[in-house]
Amino acid sequence: MSAIARLLFLAALSIPCCIVHSSNMRRIVGGAMVPENEQVPYQVSLQFQTKRGIRHYCGGSIIAPNRILTAAHCCKDMNVTLITVLAGVRNLDDRHGFRSKALKCAAHPDYQMLVTSDIAVLSIDPPLKYNSLTIAPISVIGKEFVPGNVSVTITGWGRMFPIPLNFIQSLTIPNTMRRINYHTITNKKCYEMGKTRVTDTEICAHGLFKGVCSGDSGGPLVMKSSKGLHQVGIVSYGWIICGLSIAPDVYTRVSTFSDWIQEQLKK
Ligand SMILES: *[C@@H]1O[C@H](CO)[C@@H](O)[C@H](O)[C@H]1NC(C)=O
Ligand SMILES: *[C@@H]1O[C@H](CO)[C@@H](O)[C@H](O)[C@H]1NC(C)=O
């Protein structure tokens, strides 16, 4: 990454006010709309109250009725009383969703932006009521190391076009959840493809003209295992110009934090 690119990139991610107010949110490019007859019951939208209303700004996943897994940069140092979680929707305008208030953001103590441990657990109230169709948890506990070339899926309400331009914002921000199917790559390959700061606490995925973008942060990367769907990653960072195959997407590697997540569930 060149110095200028790195600067642009840091600027886009570092200011919580702007992640919320402007278009600098990480969102999905490529991929397809989740069809009307399909649900992603573990996916939630993190929303922030501004003077102009409540807005989607990050993704998250349900790991217990009152606990949401997300990225540390989606709630650390933010005013948690202004965050709500919307569950049970495919379209953000859906009136049948279930909204809870965030009570507390437990960000990992080792979190360093763009370096490591971009993981947090949000406590919410009221607790979610599970149903098999629209609101259900995702499995996250387990220490199995996920190798490269594993088929994975990421969902979110992220930006669809690669370049964030404010004036076309209304055209590019989808209200309907989108989904990308692509593959993990090994950390070695991720490093060779330009993510020189990638560590063992992270996992990368890459696809041609596909990728996460503004507004997808904190969202769940899942794989199919013999026991069903399992979350392997949390959207952490990508490239300021999303989905152009320039560089892989970097996720927090969930298996590294299995013990920490279990502690947060007991609190
Ligand atoms: C958080 O937001 C609430 C509601 O607007 C406000 O009352 C409170 O002072 C804010 N807290 C901080 C630390 O800014
Ligand atoms: C990835 O896995 C598929 C089968 O799942 C295989 O056909 C392909 O050769 C693998 N690619 C690499 C680069 O290992």
Domain boundaries, the chain: 3-14+41-137+260-266, 151-256
Task: Given CATH 2.40.10.10, say whether it is the number of domain 3-14+41-137+260-266.
Answer: yes
Tokens of 155: 């969902």
Q: Does residue 135 or residue 227 have the better pLDDT?
A: 135
CA nearest to 154, candidates 248, 25, 28:
28
Task: Output the CA torsion sign for 85, 86, 92, 95.
Answer: negative
Most ligand 1 atoms within 8 A of CB, residue of 81, 82, 103 to mutate: 81
Give the residue whose CA is nearest to atom 5 of ligand 1: 82
User: Does any ligand 1 atom lie closer than 6 A to the CB of residue 79?
Assistant: yes
Tell me what pLDDT residue 24 has: 35
CA nearest to 23, candidates 227, 205, 176, 241:
241
**Contact by Cβ (8 Å): 92, 45:** yes
Tell me what pLDDT residue 162 has: 52
**Contact by Cβ (8 Å): 157, 59:** yes
Nearest ligand, CA 182? 2
Tell me what pLDDT residue 50 has: 85
Give the residue whose CA is nearest to atom 6 of ligand 1: 81
Ligand 1 atom at shortest distance from the alpha carbon of 79: 1
pLDDT, tens digit (0-9, with 9 covering 90-100), for 82-96: 999 999 999 999 998
Give the residue whose CA is nearest to atom 7 of ligand 1: 81
Half-sphere exposure of 140 (CA within 13 A, CB side): 33
Q: Has residue 163 got a pLDDT over 90?
A: no
Tell me what pLDDT residue 186 has: 97
Q: Does residue 170 or residue 76 have the better pLDDT?
A: 76
Q: How far is the C-alpha of 122 from the C-alpha of 102, rounded, in Å?
A: 6
- Which CATH number describes the domain made up of 151-256? 2.40.10.10
Tell me what pLDDT residue 243 has: 61
Tokens of 229: 């769907």
**Contact by Cβ (8 Å): 214, 266:** no
Q: How far is the C-alpha of 229 from the C-alpha of 216, rounded, in Å?
A: 19
| 3-state class (DSSP) for residue 113 | coil
pLDDT, tens digit (0-9, with 9 covering 90-100), for 5-31: 333 333 333 323 223 223 334 456 677
pLDDT, tens digit (0-9, with 9 covering 90-100), for 42-66: 999 999 998 888 888 899 999 999 9
Beta-strand pair 120-125/202-206:
unpaired
Most ligand 1 atoms within 8 A of CB, residue of 20, 51, 79 to mutate: 79
Length of the chain counted residue by residue:
267
Q: How far is the C-alpha of 238 from the C-alpha of 196, rounded, in Å?
A: 12
Same fold: 3-14+41-137+260-266 with 151-256: yes
CA nearest to 218, candidates 102, 51, 98:
102
Separation of CA 266 and ligand 1 centre (Å): 28
Tell me what pLDDT residue 20 has: 29
